Structure 1
Amino acid sequence: MAKVRFHDNNEYLTGQAVVDFLATQEVIYEHWGVDRLDNNLRDNYSPTEVEKQQILDAFKAEIADISARRDYKTADIIVLSDKTPNLDALLEKFKGEHHHTDDECRFCVDGHGIFAIKGKDDRYFDVEMEPGDLISVPSYYRHYFKLMDDRKIKAIRLFVTPAGWEAIY
């Protein structure tokens, strides 16, 4: 389950406190789990298009449910790891604080990532994601993203429109 860390005092929230706090920030958090996936779909950081589709198919019901609630129209898979060309340049770009005109919704299939979010009270906090966690950062919320020490993540991305996902720095 995800953890929340506050930038100003390094305090952590865990368990139900994460869900409760993120709800006050209008950030959707859900834990779908990944037990239904074979290890070759979780640990593979060079998935084929067929394997990517198998991951999407495994979470078809959950994707349909949140898409109906949030009007998401498309889903795809993003993979970042040391196998990713120009990984460090990409990560530098993601570290720039930005927002989007649509929600930024990610479901962590494998690996780890941190969404740093400017809260409603201008207080910054990190959401440390692990496999099975879904987060949806509302449109126009200032945030940035970074990888954790394992330097890898495989995630399902959900969009209203691909154009709405473009970062505005």
Structure 2
Amino acid sequence: MAEIRIRNTEERISGEQNVRAFLESQEVLYEHWDASKLPGHLQDKFVLSDEEKAEILATYDVEIRELAERRGYKTWDIVALSDATPGLDDILKRFEQVHTHTEDEVRAITAGRGIFIIKGGEDVGYFDVELEAGDVISVPETIPHFFTLMDNRQIVAVRLFIETEGWIAHPFEDPAFIKA
């Protein structure tokens, strides 16, 4: 279950309803899918064949299509990252820059853990959303953020897009942002 850490106060928010209410107040969509639906042989697997990626997409087909219809997403895929991913450190350096997009950034975590760092309203500042299997988040295109891995450096997630070529990141320079 997702947990939030507000950076300038160190306040923690947990529990599905509390997380959902806080994120909604920041204009961020949060949902939770049933992580136990994923077949056991894929629950802790972070290097995936094309067939295994297709199996994950098929497992969550109903949830994906419902979210896509509701929010206008037209295409989706799977991203799998771990220490076995060639060039992982370079990939993470690209991710770990505050930016906005031309569309929402959507992730449905199916295995592992990840973290979104998001710029909240003036009264909140930056906050971290720690995600695990079953958590679904959509950060609106105009909200500065970035996504990275937790200490375990393993994640599998469904990504949904409006643009068929995927999202385009636009750097967001913010002297108030302190990497922590």
Shorter chain as denominator, the TM-score bin is over 0.9
Report if aligned partners of 1:106, 1:136 keep a CA contact under 8 Å in 2. yes
Aligned-residue CA RMSD (Å): 1.2
Report if aligned partners of 2:3, 2:130 keep a CA contact under 8 Å in 1. yes
Answering whether residue 69 of structure 2 is matched by residue 68 of structure 1, we say yes
Question: Could you tell me which residue of structure 1 aligns to residue 178 of structure 2?
Answer: none
Instruction: Structure 2 unaligned segments of length 5 or more: list them.
Output: 172-180
Question: Could you tell me which residue of structure 1 aligns to residue 85 of structure 2?
Answer: 84
Answering whether residue 28 of structure 2 is matched by residue 19 of structure 1, we say no
Identify which of 150, 165, 168 aligns with 2:167: 165
How far apart, CA to CA, are the structure 1 residues paired with 2:86 and 2:138?
Answer: 27
Question: Letter of the aligned partner of 1:3 in structure 2?
Answer: E
Instruction: Structure 1 unaligned segments of length 5 or more: list them.
Output: none
1:44 is displaced (CA, Å) by 1.6
Moved over 4 A (4+): none
- Return 157-166 or 45-54, whichever deviates more: 157-166
Cα deviation per residue 1:120-151 (whole Å; 9 max; x = unaligned)?
Answer: 33611111001110000001210011211111
TM superposition score normalised by structure 1: 0.96
Matches within 5 A, 1:149-160: 149-160=151-162
Question: Could you tell me which residue of structure 1 aligns to residue 46 of structure 2?
Answer: 45
Question: Could you tell me which residue of structure 1 aligns to residue 176 of structure 2?
Answer: none
Answering whether residue 134 of structure 2 is matched by residue 132 of structure 1, we say yes
Calculate percent identity across the aligned residue pairs.
47
How far apart, CA to CA, are the structure 2 residues paired with 1:166 and 1:41?
Answer: 29
Matches within 5 A, 1:116-131: 116-121=117-122, 123-131=125-133
TM superposition score normalised by structure 2: 0.90
Question: Could you tell me which residue of structure 1 aligns to residue 10 of structure 2?
Answer: 10
Question: Could you tell me which residue of structure 2 aligns to residue 144 of structure 1?
Answer: 146
1:33 is displaced (CA, Å) by 2.1
Report if aligned partners of 1:100, 1:164 keep a CA contact under 8 Å in 2. no
